[in-house]
Amino acid sequence: MKYCAVITAAGCSSRMGTFKPVLPVAGRPAIIHLTENLFAAGVSHIVVVTGFRSDLIQELLQNRPDISTVHNPDYQTTQMFDSAKIGLREIPEEYDQVLLIPVDIPFVRENTIRKVIRTDADLVFPSYQMRRGHPLKIHRKYIPHLLQYEGTNGLRGALNALPAEPSYVVVDDPFIIRDMDTPQDYQTLLQEYRHQEDFRDDNAAFHVELP
């Protein structure tokens, strides 16, 4: 079975003050770290939804036929769920299983993604300490339900309204519920990631000057 992932990366990163997709994670831009983990876990194709600084994301992802980008022109006035809908519309027909994850949850472990993929159910969430997180997996047959949803609570509301019983895979991975909205969030996550993964502190290896 082939799997496709949608990464929402259209936000302005206003609370962070720096463009989140390019923040270093283990020595590479967050969006590169996330895409490589998805591919390593078994994903075959990735759709990235861009908005703010779409040019920079496209530059980072150029020459990758297994990654396609689609632009959300209304990124300044829409929410993450709106970007998710745009990405879901671009899923190639040959993929029956889709993973969804925002770019500001880049620390999720490869093994967690693999466990979600291997769980045989139509709607799957990883769970850490009784809290569900990302990435979630959904069967293609439910995409029309998500695209038609116009209720409250965004993606959460749309998922809760699906005619599907969710399955949960318990993981020892706190990063499935930890996003990076502020500089303090980012620094805290880096410290936790260093501690848990024991990776070499080479984040200075990548640097981007934003105009």
Q: Is 92 exposed, middle or buried (0-12, 13-18, 19+ CB in 10 A)?
A: exposed
- Whether 169 and 133 have beta carbons less than 8 Å apart is answered as no
* Residue 146 falls inside a structural domain: yes
* Residue 28 falls inside a structural domain: yes
Q: Is the pLDDT of residue 175 over 90?
A: yes
* Residue 205 falls inside a structural domain: no
Identify the domain containing residue 81 by its residue range: 3-199
Q: Is the pLDDT of residue 200 over 70?
A: no
* Residue 204 falls inside a structural domain: no
- Whether 70 and 29 have beta carbons less than 8 Å apart is answered as no
* Residue 207 falls inside a structural domain: no
Beta strands in the chain, from DSSP E residues, in sequence order: 3-9, 24-25, 28-29, 45-50, 67-71, 97-102, 123-128, 131-132, 136-139, 167-170
Count of domains observed in the chain: 1
- How is residue 202 written in tokens? 């080479």
* Residue 211 falls inside a structural domain: no
CATH number at residue 155: 3.90.550.10
Q: What is the model's pTM?
A: 0.92
- Identify whether 135 is preceded by a cis peptide bond (ω within 30 of 0): yes
* Residue 45 falls inside a structural domain: yes
Of 133, 134, 125, residue with least CA distance to 165? 125
CA distance 12 to 52: 5
The string of pLDDT tens digits covering residues 33-82 is 999 999 999 999 999 999 999 999 999 999 899 999 999 999 999 999 99
Of 45, 53, 49, residue with least CA distance to 83? 49
Q: What is the DSSP letter of 108?
A: -
198 pLDDT band (50/70/90 cuts)?
Answer: low
* Residue 210 falls inside a structural domain: no
Instruction: Please give the mean pLDDT across all residues of the chain.
Output: 92
Q: CA geometry: angle at 77 spanning 75 and 78, to 5°?
A: 65
